[in-house]
A and B are shown apart, each in its own frame.
Chain A
């Protein structure tokens, strides 16, 4: 069994969101970088659990990013995984990123590929589906459970207003979200061990971008809260009906 987990670098959830260069670039000054929570908490930990249950499992991590991704790759390796591959390309257009991952995945012949359901910065939910299409394998998105029985995979995925159970045979690509696993904290042994795990750097394959960010902007600030006295709930309901017109 060979598993590939896709790891993305995102700003910390408390990072100040601001833009530079005439609002064309995310301002990275003072930003702390983390592993995208969906990748770290759910797909990576679930892959580690599978490896713990069957130690013959080979677990690789892949990241598309510059050298500044290496701290988060080492942190991921401290949680688990045998080795990591970094494709040396500043992450941008989703199709370019997916093409890089697909090329690594083809080479490696993985049975199971896991991504998070989305990254918390670009919220595209796109990489998993694109990689699956490029590899011509099935794709199960937004899975909150994944169980393996030999070659058979069973997933529970979220749909509007409920859940659905899907069965599929390996190879498959699954995007993971809450429910899949419990967040782990790397221990000292993991952190020490991660330093010597192989981290291969590959040069990207040439792909034309399909999209390009032209500019960013921030939502308009709220005008300020209108406080209603606690003993006048009817007034709140009246304002919601007559002023905000939402009920």
Chain B
């Protein structure tokens, strides 16, 4: 059985977990078994809807203390669920939750982990999972040698199915250990699209000259329903918050569309964004290295070109 661990926030299942659920169901079909899900904590959505992604059974452990993350506690609970349900493969999303919990579970169960998977495993000869390495500059095909296996799926690397029937809900009883980590506060950047899960990202570089010009980026992002990002020097100069820094030493992202404005396309920047499906580059220098990594480009002054693109998008979407 393939068990997918569902991550949620504010009562809602995260988009990346729906991708992981679809992945788990397709992996189960591929290996002739079924996929089930575990929700640790409480959600306000109808969990049986995970059936749309192909999940047959959802184990729910509705304990509010699990809405906070203590990786040790979550590992204990998931490991009990793996034992009781007889799961042999566990799937996470490789988001902040998966990165905290999957490695602990791997060490606890002695189950080989591939973190950052980008495709279904090749099970024709062993169990080989493709993952992104060198910050998106290459892929590695990694064999899992242990009987139990864990896969963390990169956000935006897999589709979300919505064709199945409702899943069966089964309450799961586990002993929840006392947490040692207390969450004393959370600060959400409200109203903005989360960068790692965003389907469209608009990003600005040093070519925008200063933070006062960021309306160019944010206006276009609002029109597209996109998240915003920036190059490293922009975050280093505090023009934009650190969490927007993408690249080899920032966040690695893989949206459907990445629009780079006034970014030269240094190798360290490309490393974090080149898994994007479509890349648009707007730069006044025709020699900017980013054009070599782009699908579409405009050679021109961002201050003139970008407002016109924003207008064209608004017109297309019927926003005035």
Chain A residues packing against B (C-beta within 8 Å): 11, 13-14, 17, 19, 37-38, 41, 93-95, 98, 120-134, 136-142, 144, 154, 157-169, 178-179, 208-219, 222-223, 225-230, 233-234, 236-237, 239-241, 244, 246-247
Contact = CB atoms under 8 A, between A and B. Distances in A.
Nearest to B110: A210
B186 A216 contact: no
A162 B186 contact: yes
A244 B257 contact: yes
B297 A225 contact: yes
Given A165-B184, A233-B309, A246-B200, 19 more contacts: A14-B268, A123-B132, A123-B135, A125-B115, A126-B115, A129-B102, A129-B106, A130-B104, A130-B106, A132-B71, A132-B104, A141-B71, A164-B69, A178-B250, A210-B113, A222-B295, A225-B281, A230-B305, A247-B224
B287 interface: no
Interface string B272-310: 001101111100000000011111111111001100110
24 contacts: A13-B248, A123-B116, A124-B115, A125-B99, A133-B108, A139-B71, A160-B197, A164-B69, A164-B186, A165-B185, A178-B249, A208-B145, A211-B144, A214-B142, A216-B140, A218-B138, A219-B274, A225-B281, A226-B297, A237-B309, A244-B277, A246-B199, A246-B277, A247-B313
Contacts of B103: 94, 98, 124-130, 133
Given A178-B242, A212-B145, A141 B100 contact: yes
B177 to A, nearest CB: 11
B114 A211 contact: yes
B229 to A, nearest CB: 13
B278 A244 contact: yes
Given A95-B106, A141-B100, A211 B304 contact: no
A215 B292 CA distance: 26
Main secondary structure of the interface of B (DSSP, over half): mixed
Contact of B107 (A98, A219, A230): A98
Contact of B141 (A209, A214, A229): A214
A98 B161 CA distance: 36
Contact of B142 (A14, A38, A211, A247): A211
A13 B133 contact: no
Going nearest first, the 9 A-B pairs with the smallest beta carbon separation are: A129-B103, A230-B300, A210-B112, A161-B194, A133-B107, A162-B188, A133-B104, A233-B308, A246-B257
A126 B197 CA distance: 21
B62 interface: no
B148 to A, nearest CB: 9
A13 B138 contact: no
Contacts of B319: none
Main secondary structure of the interface of A (DSSP, over half): mixed
A244 B294 CA distance: 12
Contacts of B256: 246
A233 B311 CA distance: 9
Contacts of B315: 234
A41 B9 CA distance: 31
B34 interface: no
A230 B101 CA distance: 47
A134 B140 CA distance: 26
A9 to B, nearest CB: 14
B296 A236 contact: yes
Interface of B: 9, 14, 69-72, 75, 94-96, 99-108, 110-116, 126, 128, 131-146, 180-189, 192, 194-197, 199-200, 224, 235, 242-243, 245, 248-250, 252, 256-257, 267-268, 271, 274-275, 277-281, 291-301, 304-305, 308-309, 311-313, 315-316
A97 B304 CA distance: 52
A185 to B, nearest CB: 15
B313 A237 contact: yes
B252 A123 contact: yes
Contact of B257 (A41, A122, A211, A240): A240
B272 to A, nearest CB: 10
A227 B243 CA distance: 31
B298 A120 contact: no
Contacts of B143: 211-214
Contacts of A222: 279, 292-295
